[in-house]
Structure 1
Amino acid sequence: MLFRVPIKVCFSDIDNAGIVYYPRFMHYFHLAIEEFFDSMLGISYAEVLHKRNLSLPTVHLESDFHRKMKYGDQIDMEVRVIKIGKSSISWGYRGYLNGEENEIVVEGSNVTVCLRTDNFEKVDVPQWLRKDLTAYMEEFDKK
């Protein structure tokens, strides 16, 4: 099943106009990735960083905003794996208002690159991660 995680819009997420400040959606993307690692890959993001010595910084980011959100709303963030390169991973996101399939709030994507956490040297996507992400991609492509 395609992974989705609910995220509540907090007071600290809104701007002076009373709607979600647009950079907060990038934060929601990242929160969804952390939950994706826990729920779909069975490994905490903290373990990836600190025990497996792997960091995934974003090197490219895109987003399209379709509707406003306000304090107290909930966004359901969907995570897709678009492409696995030699040392990079392309991720896709779609946010829905309260799980409503017809109410897309935001769509976006980012590219992360694999680095060693201890020295920031670029590394290939580890085999354990490539295997799990490929399996997830293949399942997603069936839908």
Structure 2
Amino acid sequence: MEFRTRKLIRFAHCDPAGIGFYPRYVELVNEVVEDWCADGLGVSFHQLHEVHRLGLPVVRLEMSFALPSRYGDVLDFSLRILRIGASSMTLEVCAGADDALRFRGELVVAMLSMDSMRPVMIDDAWRARFTPYLVAAGG
């Protein structure tokens, strides 16, 4: 299964040439991860950080850009998990419109203790939340 959401490309997302500016795309990818936590996993970033005392910081990020987007475009985003390790996961976030890929991000996130700022093992309860989005799990 994959998490899906839509995002409007706003004036603030564009560079002076009127196309989506790549640093804003990275921010949009982070928004999609935050939306996935809340709407897909059932735990908001606030709850993850303040109640569970966990974070999912990016430790590696790779972006590829296929086609430009312009102010007013609506992008369809998908998120799926490519790999779940002991304390990290590889996520793929794709954005498209008009049946064409606009950009793709592959990011490694680590499960981090907000108290020690060190990686922690992904326990069975969290693994159960993540697994439906794992590509190898039939999603």
Q: TM-score, normalised by structure 2?
A: 0.91
Residue deviations 1:46-95, cap 9 Å, x none? 10111100011111111110111111111111001111111111100111
Aligned to 1:40, the other structure's residue is in SS state helix
On the 8 A contact 2:131/2:137 being kept in 1, the answer is no
On the 8 A contact 2:6/2:76 being kept in 1, the answer is yes
Q: Which residue of 1 aligns with 2:17?
A: 17
For 2:138 and 2:57, the matched residues in 1 are separated by 29
Deviation at residue 141 of structure 1 after TM alignment: 4.6
Aligned to 2:25, the other structure's residue is in SS state helix
Q: Which amino acid aligns with 2:127?
A: R
Is 1:142 the counterpart of 2:134 in the alignment? Answer: no
5+ long unaligned stretches in structure 2 = none
1:106 maps to which of 95, 103, 126: 103
Matched residues, percent identical? 28
RMSD: 1.6
5 Å-filtered alignment, 1:54-65, equals 54-65=54-65
On the 8 A contact 1:19/1:71 being kept in 2, the answer is yes
Aligned length: 139
Moved more, 62-71 or 125-134: 125-134
Aligned to 1:30, the other structure's residue is in SS state helix
On the 8 A contact 1:63/1:107 being kept in 2, the answer is yes
Aligned to 1:107, the other structure's residue is in SS state strand
For 1:2 and 1:55, the matched residues in 2 are separated by 21
Aligned to 1:26, the other structure's residue is in SS state helix
